[in-house]
Structure 1
């Protein structure tokens, strides 16, 4: 199914995004980092041969403009009902034009994402009607995939790994896909992502955190 996947990326308004990072980054830098995460995630997704389109769901004009420039289609988060409602809305928007496409909902906070690793995840997702990938912490979800005609029934949020398993989604277990699992919610998550190797926009933003933070990042590598 090379080139057949449509990816949906919900992105919060920057003013309320990544609030747990503020203790590490400071409130001033937090929104810029959240945008950098989304930009680097999108750039990696667009490099993946298994992906043919990316639809961003957001109500943030800055996010929409930045990700549109990189090559994503953008639809407004008209449900405004949180992450799961945004996923369903995005999948619905994709299926208006591409009802036969498999769709993967992907977190927008994967700044270390590698296109080849995403491709391995999507290759494995082809064999199950509905499947998901757990995050690095082992409790959440970074990707939920559905084949044509299958409802996503997303259960993102705290403890989403168990919720998706209980709903009948198949848990994907590909090897060596750490970059697809490593979402960033906390300062410690960011250090791990930097050790994996973040994209250029995140790297530029984290450079502003100073030498102490960079030393901590180096110790994780």
Structure 2
């Protein structure tokens, strides 16, 4: 498979994660941690070749450097077109530099993302000319992809799942729920911790002394280990607006060769964001 070009839009510090009910400096710490963990996962992906960080920031989270990362200057956010404007900046760069490579938008608020879950999802997205993964709430969008930059059309925002479907993108729902779990609120963050977050997000949670108020949820214990990954190799034609799903049930007889993530018997199944559908968890100090 041709290596992908990835766009990671990163909001300015002032506007990042405004729905998280914490003081602005603490929201920035969390947003930086999320972005750093996303960058770490994308850099370690076996399928991504070039990474574009599109941002209006003058500074970047630790880890935002390397030969494979291109930093593109965005207008100060929020702008009237918000995230979609940043995506367009990245798309135009990719069109000029890698016009025949597949392209994917990876939001910077996916702290549960891992290299293996990303690669497994890219295998599935590659089956359609344009495709996306819905968020855990099933009304928004996390990853958005196209077979070439020319085909990429983004409609992030309220009810983006519906808008991307209307634009003809296929829906990839049956993916690991860590790919679908974006974090916009403290409740989202508590649920993310149950799925497993990256090291910088975990360090930020500890630094801010955030705890889970719900009985039985202990922020001080290690997160559950992720399950082994499986990969989809089907390459049949997909019609726009259809649902992408795995051709076989998501069961794994053993750990695939080269897997970088240890197995666990109680980890969540792909496509079923169990932490999101469970009783609401709240975080506090």
Tell me the TM-score normalized by structure 1.
Answer: 0.89
The answer to whether the 8 A contact 1:207-1:214 is kept is no
Post-superposition offset of 1:68: 2.5
In structure 1, the partner of 2:127 is: 127
Equivalent residue pairs, number: 217
Single out whichever of 57-66 and 44-53 deviates more from structure 2.
57-66
Mapping for residues 152-191 of structure 1, pairs under 5 Å: 152-175=152-175, 177-191=176-190
In structure 1, the partner of 2:69 is: 72
Structure with greater helix share of residues: 1
In 2, Cα distance between the equivalents of 1:184 and 1:69?
26
Distance 1:127 1:60, change over 3 A: same
Asked if 1:10 is matched to 2:9, the reply is: yes
The answer to whether the 8 A contact 1:6-1:51 is kept is yes
In structure 2, the partner of 1:199 is: 198
In structure 1, the partner of 2:118 is: 118
In structure 1, the partner of 2:97 is: 97
Runs of 5+ unmatched residues, structure 1: none
In structure 2, the partner of 1:35 is: 32
In 2, Cα distance between the equivalents of 1:149 and 1:72?
17
Single out whichever of 149-158 and 133-142 deviates more from structure 2.
149-158
The answer to whether the 8 A contact 1:58-1:64 is kept is no
Runs of 5+ unmatched residues, structure 2: 225-285
Single out whichever of 161-170 and 211-220 deviates more from structure 2.
211-220
Post-superposition offset of 1:199: 0.8
Distance 1:65 1:197, change over 3 A: closer
In 2, Cα distance between the equivalents of 1:29 and 1:111?
16
Asked if 1:56 is matched to 2:53, the reply is: yes
Post-superposition offset of 1:70: 9.1
Post-superposition offset of 1:119: 0.9
Distance 1:173 1:215, change over 3 A: closer
The answer to whether the 8 A contact 1:133-1:144 is kept is yes
Post-superposition offset of 1:188: 0.5
Post-superposition offset of 1:197: 1.1
The answer to whether the 8 A contact 1:130-1:150 is kept is no
CA RMSD of aligned residues (A): 2.3
In 1, Cα distance between the equivalents of 2:161 and 2:193?
24
In structure 2, the partner of 1:146 is: 146
After superposition, what is the alpha-carbon deviation per residue over 1:37-87, rounded to whole angstroms, capped at 9, x for unaligned? 001011011111111121010010112775125952100014954110110
In structure 1, the partner of 2:237 is: none
In structure 2, the partner of 1:106 is: 106
Single out whichever of 93-102 and 154-163 deviates more from structure 2.
93-102
